[in-house]
Amino acid sequence: MRIYLDHNATTPPAPEVADLVARVTRDVWGNASSVHHFGQQAKGLMDDARGQVADLLGAEPSEVVFTGGGTESDNAAIRGAAEALEAAGRRHLITTAIEHEGVLNTVKALARRGWRVTLVPVDATGIVSVDAVTAALADDTALVSVMHANNELGTVQPVEAIAQAARDRGALFHTDAVQTAGKLPIDVRRMGVDLLSISAHKFYGPKGVGALWVRRGVRLTPFITGGRQERGRRAGTENVAGIAGMGAAAARARQKMATEGPRLAALRDRLERGVLAVVPGSDRNGAAEPRVPNTTNISVERIEAESLLIGLDLEGIAVSSGSACSSGTLEPSHVLKAMGLPHARTLGSIRFSLGESNTEAEVDRVIAVLPGLVEKLRNLTVTMKR
């Protein structure tokens, strides 16, 4: 049996969600923009889903824009806000050094086109300082984008305080909540954010569908132009089946969160404690709290994570390390580098991200397998060097 501990990369779709997606694909194939019966059926499912997603976020359904996923939501928010505020003379963007590539590379692309960009650093806690963001704010700051929780460490960022600081200077605030939606309660009003990205497949929904929450009154320049779908904010015939699946997954996550969160936290802590105890020279990366309940990131001295990851895979244990790039190779994590960790430590980091299917027995198996694997790899390095 394979053990899947990479839920921050993706989650297995819940069976009822997968069934719904299949059923809608087959039976509700109308174009949601059509006036007739077929269109109405599709539109009805989308309306239901919009309500379910809005409920997950504490939002109004009309504020939810369905997209093709988390990265598209990030692009729509950042490009859309940057362009909309350009005319007002706001040409400055702020983000952090530990963002997901969906944000980081979008901001970099805008930097190449003339926007001024500030990348706020982090320290070894992996938590962005509110003061550092506040200090970076300028009169012409258009948008601040800070992730809700970091995908590699699980650390939760102080988005409420940062949102307040941004608002005080008249800047918009966006958060990539892809790693928190369905894991932590989200209330967009309480958070005080203007834009929030989520992705269905991170909470047991289908891939290829996400949402951008846009606070009522916030004007974005559409990033995908075409028809009037999604109130003109995201053109293109809607992925009705995927959206229905996202709605079902959102409703499901909202209902399970209160019990699943503490269960995962206990399981994650068992894993973390166990690994740190049995693997000599292992350390947790980033602060213990606040974190999403399912994630731990551990560096192992004198080991290249690449080897450990492959070794674990061959043992049937799926974890991840750094961030996988387009070719599937492994790069030293930009997050750990930004935290100022020594190079060797960034190369030896493994991320475990747990999910619904994981059990204590699975966690114990990882704790049992890891020391032997680490020792084998370390001995090998010594032998070969000699």
| List of residues contacting another protein (CB under 8 A) | 96-97, 101, 104-105, 107-108, 111-112, 116-122, 132, 306-307, 310-311, 313-314, 325-331, 334, 337-338, 376-377, 380-381, 384
Nearest approach, Cβ of residue 380 and another protein (Å): 5
Residue 155's beta-bridge partner residues?
Answer: 291
Q: Considering beta carbons, is residue 119 or 184 the nearer one to another protein? A: 119
Nearest approach, Cβ of residue 327 and another protein (Å): 5
Give the chain's end-to-end CA distance (angstroms, integer). 38
Nearest approach, Cβ of residue 200 and another protein (Å): 24
Q: In 3D, which of 190, 201, 196, 224 has the Cα closest to residue 64?
A: 196
What's the chain's length in residues?
386
Nearest approach, Cβ of residue 57 and another protein (Å): 29
Q: Which tokens sit at 66?
A: 């369905």
Nearest approach, Cβ of residue 247 and another protein (Å): 33
CA 240 to chain centre: 23
Q: Considering beta carbons, is residue 50 or 334 the nearer one to another protein? A: 334
Q: Considering beta carbons, is residue 122 or 209 the nearer one to another protein? A: 122
- Residues sharing a CB contact under 8 Å with residue 294, sequence separation 6 or more, in sequence order: 7, 8, 154, 183, 264, 265, 268, 353, 354, 355
Nearest approach, Cβ of residue 106 and another protein (Å): 11
Q: Considering beta carbons, is residue 26 or 386 the nearer one to another protein? A: 386
19 is catalytic: no
Amino acid at 58: G
Cβ pair 242, 210 in contact under 8 A: no
Nearest approach, Cβ of residue 331 and another protein (Å): 5
Cα 141 to Cα 118: distance, rounded to the nearest angstrom:
10
Q: Which tokens sit at 324?
A: 């996988």
Q: Considering beta carbons, is residue 140 or 331 the nearer one to another protein? A: 331
Q: In 3D, which of 172, 222, 217 has the Cα closest to residue 193?
A: 172
Catalytic annotation, pick one of 88, 124, 266, 325:
325
Q: Considering beta carbons, is residue 254 or 334 the nearer one to another protein? A: 334
Cα 207 to Cα 146: distance, rounded to the nearest angstrom:
23
* Four-residue CA torsion sign, 280, 283, 289, 291: negative
Cα 26 to Cα 91: distance, rounded to the nearest angstrom:
46
Cβ pair 192, 198 in contact under 8 A: no
CA 20 to chain centre: 24
Residue 82's Cβ-side half-sphere holds a number of Cα atoms within 13 Å equal to: 26
Q: Considering beta carbons, is residue 118 or 229 the nearer one to another protein? A: 118
Cα 12 to Cα 21: distance, rounded to the nearest angstrom:
14
| Residues recognised as catalytic | 325
